[in-house]
Structure formats: structure tokens, C-alpha cells
Amino acid sequence: MENVSVGVKIKPSQPLQATRSKSGFWLVVLGAALWGADPLFRIILLKSLTSAQIVLLEHIIIAFIAIPVMWKNRQELRGLGWKQAGALLFISWGGSAVATILFTMGLVNGNPNAVLLLQKLQPLFAIVLARMLLKERLPRHFSWLIILALAGTYLLTFGFTLPIGHWSEIVHVGSLLSLGAAALWGGSTVMGRLMVGQMKYETVTSLRFLLALPLLFAITWNEGAAWNIPTESGAFAAVSLNLLGQALLPGLLSLLVYYKGLTTTKASVATLAELSFPMVGVLINWIAFQEMITLAQAFGFMLIWMTLFIISRQSQETPEVALKPVKN
């Protein structure tokens, strides 16, 4: 297992460190961009399977790759404490299982572009959780920044109109599901940064999927829905290819690339790099499903982006305590 030392890092002092930091940034961009391809596969699969069934099958496919990796790196599990075990369970059960189901259900019950753009609230959830668990300082004027982000969220959900009527008309189910997914994924980012400093990124990625399998089996069993997998050869091949593409591209490959980039990328920089996720997703929705972004959604997204940009600039103005893996 790699030892971890804590040090103050303001600016890279060597060209090699600068190169690694720059390459890590682009790896985060690429990993987040691959998440944006998710609706391209998931929306098609929803015509035949439920949200829980899709996520379960996705994890089973990835397990065939994750099990050999986990066996090779099994010595990294020695000496794990309760804190690390809890972080891994949060990443797998919350971030990999429940959040993915909520996101998939949001695509069914809400506007796909709004569901995607609301994911940019993930860093705000991550900042609050880091304050609660890791005792990190909140950005200056955080209460005002939260109001700005909430205004952007309102525009993404309701547009420029004022919702009037019953509670069911005011609350959009798709948006609530998307916000739940964003909260869990934001928390998983905090836990992931903690674990990447103590394990190889391949091990963290493998555990994320493997530990989620028992929970997904239980959720799918309790759901009791019929498995409507097509029996015709052409339709069956289409579903199979979409499942494989979903599992390997926005599933496994995206997280491997993302966690690799996260090892050398500051949180504030990674926040901006993750903007590639909703941008690619909205672009794919426009090209593949003719889902045009509205003016209200564009304005709401800009408010959220402005909030994250201000927080990022504040983070760059102060020294950052970073986890630096030191090889034995």
C-alpha cells in the first residue's frame, strides 16, 4: 500500500509536477465528458428495462473486469479502518448504486437536459460535506453563493415561470431525483479523494462497482419487475450492445480516467474540468434526441457555473493542503 504524507502545495516547483498537474486536469475533463455519453445508452435501454435492472446489469458486466483487478491488488485491503470502509461503502452504495438509479429515473420522469445540468450542483454538495466531515473552510460569502446556485437550480427546474398550484405541480419529480443523485455523487467525490490518497485508483474503481452488487441485487429483487429483454435477435443484439457500451464507456472507463486524473488535480480545478459532463450530455441530447436547451436552462446553468468559478478562484488564492502519495 502507498504511504501518504500531507504537505502544503501552492505551485508546482518542478516541470515534472506541472506536466502531471496539466495531464491530470485533461484526464478529469475526459472522464467527465464520458459521463455525458450516458443518456445516449441509458435512454434507449429504458424502453426495455427498469432503472434498477439497467444499473444491476451494468455492474455485473463491469464485475468481470473488476474482480481480476481486485484480486491482483488484494493486499491493499489489509489494515483498512472503519473510516475507510465507510467511505468505500458510501462510494459504492450511494454513488454507484443509489445515485445511478436516481439519475436513470430522473431521465424517465423529467427533462433530460435539466437532469443533466442539475448535476453541476455536485461540487456544492461536496464542499458542504467536506466542511462537515473534513473540517475544511467554506469559501467566502458562501451563503450568497448558495443563493445564486439555488436561483440557477430554480431556472433549470421551472424556467422563468412561477409555479402555482398543488405541491405535486410545484415539485418536478425528475429534478428531485436528479438533485438526489447530485448530492450522492458530490459526497462520493469527497470520499473518492480520501481513498485515492490511500489506494491505487484502479482498486478504488473496482471496489466502487463490486461492493454495490449485493445492494443492487436486493433492490432489483424487491422491485419485482418483469425482465422485458427482447427475444428477437436484432432487438436483443441492440440491447446487449447498449448495455456493453453503457458499462464500459460512461461506466468503467470514465471512472478509471477520472480517478487517475484526480490524483494530481486540485479540487477547485477538477470542479471546472467537470463542466464537460453536462455540456457533452446536452450536446448528445440535442443531436440524438432533439432535446433543445431552453433560454431559462442556459441562464440557470450560467448562474451555477458563475458560482463554481468564484469558489474556484477563491481556492486558488489560498494555499491548499494536498495529499501526496509517496511510494515505498
Question: For the residues of 37-80, what is the DSSP string, one character each?
Answer: THHHHHHHHTTTS-HHHHHHHHHHHHHHHHHHHHHHTGGGGTT-
Question: Dihedral of CA 210/215/218/219: which sign?
Answer: negative
Kindly provide the residue ranges of all beta strands, DSSP E only, lying in the chain, ordered along the sequence: 3-9, 320-326
Nearest Cα to Cα of residue 323 among 127, 187, 192, 185: 192
Are 50 and 297 within 8 A, CB to CB?
Answer: no
Are 259 and 205 within 8 A, CB to CB?
Answer: yes
C-alpha 258/C-alpha 252 separation (Å) is: 10
464542499: which residue's cell? 127
Q: What pTM was computed for the model?
A: 0.70
All residues at 6 or more sequence positions from 7 whose CB lies less than 8 Å from its CB, including other chains? 321, 322, 324
Are 141 and 149 within 8 A, CB to CB?
Answer: no
Rg (CA), the chain: 20
C-alpha 304/C-alpha 307 separation (Å) is: 5
Tens-digit pLDDT profile for the chain (328 aa)? Answer: 334 333 444 444 555 555 565 677 788 888 888 888 888 888 889 888 998 999 999 999 999 999 999 999 999 988 788 888 899 999 999 988 999 899 888 888 877 777 877 776 777 787 777 777 766 666 677 778 778 877 877 777 667 876 554 444 445 778 888 889 988 988 887 787 778 778 888 898 899 999 999 999 999 999 999 898 888 888 899 899 999 998 998 888 988 898 888 777 765 566 666 767 777 777 787 888 777 788 888 888 788 778 767 766 665 555 444 433 333 3
Q: Give the DSSP letter string of 143-168.
A: HHHHHHHHHHHHHHHHTTS---S-HH
Q: Which three cell numbers stand for residue 292?
A: 433543445
pLDDT at 2: 39
Task: Note the maximum CA span of the chain.
Answer: 63
C-alpha 266/C-alpha 321 separation (Å) is: 10
3 state SS of 130: helix
Output the CA torsion 307→310→311→316 (10° steps): 160
Number of H helices, E strands in the chain: 17, 2
State the DSSP H helix or E strand holding residue 106, giving kind and residue range, or none if neither.
Answer: helix 99-109
C-alpha 36/C-alpha 250 separation (Å) is: 7
Are 123 and 28 within 8 A, CB to CB?
Answer: no
C-alpha 26/C-alpha 153 separation (Å) is: 27
HSE at residue 30, side-chain half, CA atoms within 13 A, is 15
How far does Cα 97 stand from its chain's mean position?
A: 11
458560482: which residue's cell? 307
